[in-house]
Structure 1
Amino acid sequence: MTTALITHADCLTHVTPDGHPERVARLEHVLHGLEGKTLERFTAPLAAEDDLLRIHPKSYIEDLREARPDAGFIQLDGDTFLSPGSLDAAFRGAGAAVRAVDLVLSGRVQNAFAAIRPPGHHTETETSMGFCLFGNAALAAKHALDHHGLKRVAVVDFDVHHGNGTQDLLWDEPRALFISSQQMPLWPGSGRPDEDGAHGQMVNIPLAPETGGDAMREAYETLAFPRIRAFEPELLILSAGFDAHQDDPLASLNWTTSDFAWLTAALCAIAQEVCGGRIVSTLEGGYDLNALTAATAAHVDELIKAGS
């Protein structure tokens, strides 16, 4: 078995204004850091609209199409922009999530990493925000459940910002366990422990500013891992954000590259226990280029180890 890398050059055509942290260089650095690794490489397709309709209404998709500029930028909220190439990038990102699920569940690969942008975990049902346009991780979960007929999936989000969009999109979905660790207080302000979903299937793990790797490991070992094991998902989906790194400029957690490696290895081991090692991981945040490159490479290295 192998690890898939799924990406597309269109993800580099989503351009943001000068000085914006979610910039083209992020994906360029990630892909450079993955060069030479033993990966089975796939091209991300454009997501089919029918797939996106699993999580977003048609009116939302049409509003984005109508808003797309022919040149320059359109500002959707305080920090989310559309450029002429943004929708192609977002459709490729969503398509990468769908293809990753198909590849893993078909047995073609053991696990998969979608190297995409823009990220997705802040997009709510009808609202783009936080640099995000489509809810890629939630889409992967719904595709696995509705198209492939799985009974249970789990989504683990370790981005430093709460995955409010994924939470919103899966709030009423009893077949999906959602676990999210996040710095609190921090934008977007959600992610309290009492936000536990319509069926008690959501686990939010707030972490105080300056929380380091030791406290993170204890939190996951006591709060996250037992819930995953008890839920027995048939697929594990990761929202892989690397902005909890101590060098990231947008937050103040103190994780190191080795902490991301530890967390990935631990999740791979649990996946091996409960779902035959089947994991789909999709890139979310991470805004210091060197930290992002190193942590993503460490994450993918652990996926490769688990898939070999």
Structure 2
Amino acid sequence: MTTALITHPDCHGHVTPEGHPEQVARLHEVLKALEGKDLRRVEAPAAADDSILLCHPQAHIDALRAARPETGIVQLDADTYMSPGSFEAACRGVGGAVAAVDMVMSGEVGNAFVATRPPGHHAETEQPMGFCLFGNVAIAARHALRNHGLKKVAIVDFDVHHGNGTQDLLWNEADALFVSTHQMPLYPGTGAQHEQGAHGQITNIPLSAGTDGELYRKILANRIIPLIEAFEPEMLFLSAGFDAHRDDPLASIALSTEDFQWITEELAKAAARLCEGRIVSCLEGGYDLPALAASAGVHVDALIAAAR
């Protein structure tokens, strides 16, 4: 078996203002870091409305479709923007995540990494925010449950910012475990431990500024892995944000590139024990370009090794 790399040139067409951290160069650097690796390279299809409707209402889709400018850049909130190509890029993100589920479930690949932008884990039910338009991982998780007949799925979000959008979209989804580690206090201000979902299926693990790899490894081994094992998912999703790297400018968690490799390896071992190794990983944050590229590279290396 192999690992799928799912991306699309349209994702370079989502343009943000000069100096914005979620820039076109992010995807360029990630893909450059993955050159020459043993991957099944697949172009992400554009999601139809039916897929997006798994988590967002038609009004949200229509509002974003109407908001895209013919030229220039429009601002949706304090830090979320759309250019003429942004809607298409966001549809590729959803379509890529859904296609990843289909490929893994069919046995065509062992696991998949979806390298698209804009990211998704901050997009709430009817609110684009935090650079995000649609909830890619949440939609993919619900696609696995609704269209592949899985009984349970789990999502681990190791982005340094809380995945408030994923939490909002899956708040009432009893069959989806959501575990998020994130610096707190930090944008978007959600992710307290008492936020547990309608069925107690959400676990938030706030981290203090300065948390290093040694402590994070203990949290993964002693809290996150046991939660996943107790839930017994049939597929594992990763919101793979690399902005908890010690070099990232937007936060103050001190993980190293090697920590991201170890995290991926341990989650892959859990997936091998619990769900036949089925993993779909979707790119989220990471804003220091060298750290992002290096971390994404070792993340994918670990996925490749796990799929063999």
Instruction: Provide TM-score, normalisation by structure 2.
Output: 1.00
Partners of 1:307 and 1:219 in 2: CA distance? 25
1:278 maps to: 278
Structure 1 stretches of 5 or more lacking a match? none
- The count of residues paired between Structure 1 and Structure 2 equals 308
Residues 208-257 of structure 1, C-alpha deviations (whole Å, 9 max, x = no match)? 00100011111111221101001110000000000000000000000000
Residues 164-200 of structure 1, C-alpha deviations (whole Å, 9 max, x = no match)? 0000000000000000000011010111111111000
1:40 maps to: 40
2:142 maps to: 142
Residues 142-162 of structure 1, C-alpha deviations (whole Å, 9 max, x = no match)? 000001110000000000000
Residue 262 of structure 1 and its aligned partner are, at CA, apart by 0.5
Partners of 2:92 and 2:269 in 1: CA distance? 29
> Matched residues, percent identical?
63
2:236 maps to: 236
Written as runs of structure 1 = structure 2, the 5 A alignment for 1:202-217 is 202-217=202-217
Residue 274 of structure 1 and its aligned partner are, at CA, apart by 0.2
> Residue type matched to 1:25 in 2?
A
1:300 maps to: 300
Residue 205 of structure 1 and its aligned partner are, at CA, apart by 0.6
Residue 48 of structure 1 and its aligned partner are, at CA, apart by 1.1
1:101 maps to: 101
Written as runs of structure 1 = structure 2, the 5 A alignment for 1:226-265 is 226-265=226-265
Residues 88-135 of structure 1, C-alpha deviations (whole Å, 9 max, x = no match)? 000001000000000000000000000000000000000000000000
1:266 maps to: 266
> Residue type matched to 1:288 in 2?
D
Partners of 1:67 and 1:133 in 2: CA distance? 11
Partners of 1:221 and 1:298 in 2: CA distance? 19
Partners of 1:68 and 1:11 in 2: CA distance? 15
Residues 52-105 of structure 1, C-alpha deviations (whole Å, 9 max, x = no match)? 001000000000011110011110000000000000000001000000000000
1:52 maps to: 52
Structure 2 stretches of 5 or more lacking a match? none
1:22 maps to: 22
Partners of 2:252 and 2:171 in 1: CA distance? 28
> Residue type matched to 1:169 in 2?
L
Question: RMSD between aligned alpha carbons?
Answer: 0.4
Partners of 2:105 and 2:174 in 1: CA distance? 20
Written as runs of structure 1 = structure 2, the 5 A alignment for 1:109-258 is 109-258=109-258
Instruction: Provide TM-score, normalisation by structure 1.
Output: 1.00
> Residue type matched to 1:177 in 2?
L
Query: Secondary structure at 1:123's aligned position in 2?
Result: coil
Query: Secondary structure at 2:205's aligned position in 1?
Result: strand
Query: Secondary structure at 2:15's aligned position in 1?
Result: coil
* Structure 1: 4+ residue segments shifted above 2 A: none
> Residue type matched to 2:37 in 1?
K
2:87 maps to: 87
